[in-house]
Structure 1
């Protein structure tokens, strides 16, 4: 699971990419312009950014260059556009973009590009490129490599030597008495399940709990869980959760 920032001024594109990436198990942050993208990047330090080129306030290439000059290009960035020229795509790549997705984006291409991006531990070294574009022989003010303050996105790897083979997490033993039904179900969740199956079990308990708390009011549940209504409906259908039944529990 990774934190992915989607930056696009078209709401339909943002929602579509969000649903696809969420279904793949990622945490998705959305921004509709460069201002929101800057705030999201500084607050959450995404593992990957999908960045639209043409935006109303600041275009994606300019924002990419800004991150590079400020030493903030510590995550892979994939540019997106349906109207960009080859020269624009090449320029973005020279600045430090990992790849370029042409709209309309196919599902296979999106998932492949995201997977490749998340395997990248550090962005390309673009000091030389930026210096050339600045037209000086001076060293850039920042070195565009991750520091202690800006962690890399190296995928987490399990080291068997660091964990006892008999180590377990006893969820039930850490639960307080007089648990709610949802908490009891959660305490019985087996950690031996495959990740996707375990995640589905958790999400089913999670959404059933919020549906019960909000009397199956989809608007309030969407606000509580931070999902768009259409995304919420799709998730409930995927998990085979009937809204009326959840309300009666």
Structure 2
């Protein structure tokens, strides 16, 4: 799996921190890692972006960013309003493929959900994944509503013939409610793919050394971790 595309079922659900955890677990397993942020929005040129945050948390990764737009909007809209060139799926695939010649694992982090548009022609992260023939990891939320957005994302991936590697809960609450606890069992059913991890809420606020020590324990062996979905589900059963 030289390239893994990481998408979310929405925004602010822990996609970047999950990307950092996946990178960290791979580094711990002795793999070289690159992280590619296709389009960064909502930041000034001098501010650290998502790829920089992954490097801060995970450690020695190659961090790359294809484009940056100042307004916190979908990449296509942000590019249009800024008067700058958009990022196209072909560029994302080309950059990821080049990084894959120099690294054991390339993590391509999208912006928001799977079908967020990067350009006026409607190019998406899903298109880039198709060009790369790369598996896709879906980061989702824990609580009510997540089953619908997760299943919609999974159905679109399958419609395109893309491999859904699995699902990770991007932020698991300290005190999960009934819906969240039930979703541990239901998410892999609606996704048709395994639950591959759950990151504790606030994981991104940990000191980098603490994050690196803990990250493999949040992810399943398929992602170079030690997390056990069955044991986690039994522990969280209300």
- TM-score computed with the length of structure 2 as normaliser: 0.37
Tell me which of the two structures has the higher relative contact order, counting C-alpha pairs closer than 8 angstroms and 6 or more residues apart: 2
Normalized per residue, which structure has more strand? 2
Normalized per residue, which structure has more helix? 1
- TM-score computed with the length of structure 1 as normaliser: 0.35
